[in-house]
Amino acid sequence: MEEKQNTRLHAIVEGGVQGVGFRFFVQDTANLLGLSGWVRNRWDGTVEVLVEGERGRLEQLLTALRRGPRSAQVMGVNFTWQDYSGEFSGFRVRQTSS
């Protein structure tokens, strides 16, 4: 039986991703996948996502980030895999940050 490995994904989404419902799209997708963490706009026009959960589900979220909601124009997703911390409960939209 395959072990379900928890990990952390940190992603920065570039393109026309603010003012198009992108954060709420990410929140809805993360909740459907049972992931925890947060999403926020950044002052440079990108959207930042920090999320934890099962690796396979995070990869599904990453696919969704590359697509975005219909109104978004995703130009790229820069991401890194990090160590799982278990610090989050639920998934939320955070305030804009630099």
**Which residues are designated catalytic?**
23, 41
Q: Residue 20: beta bridge partners?
A: none
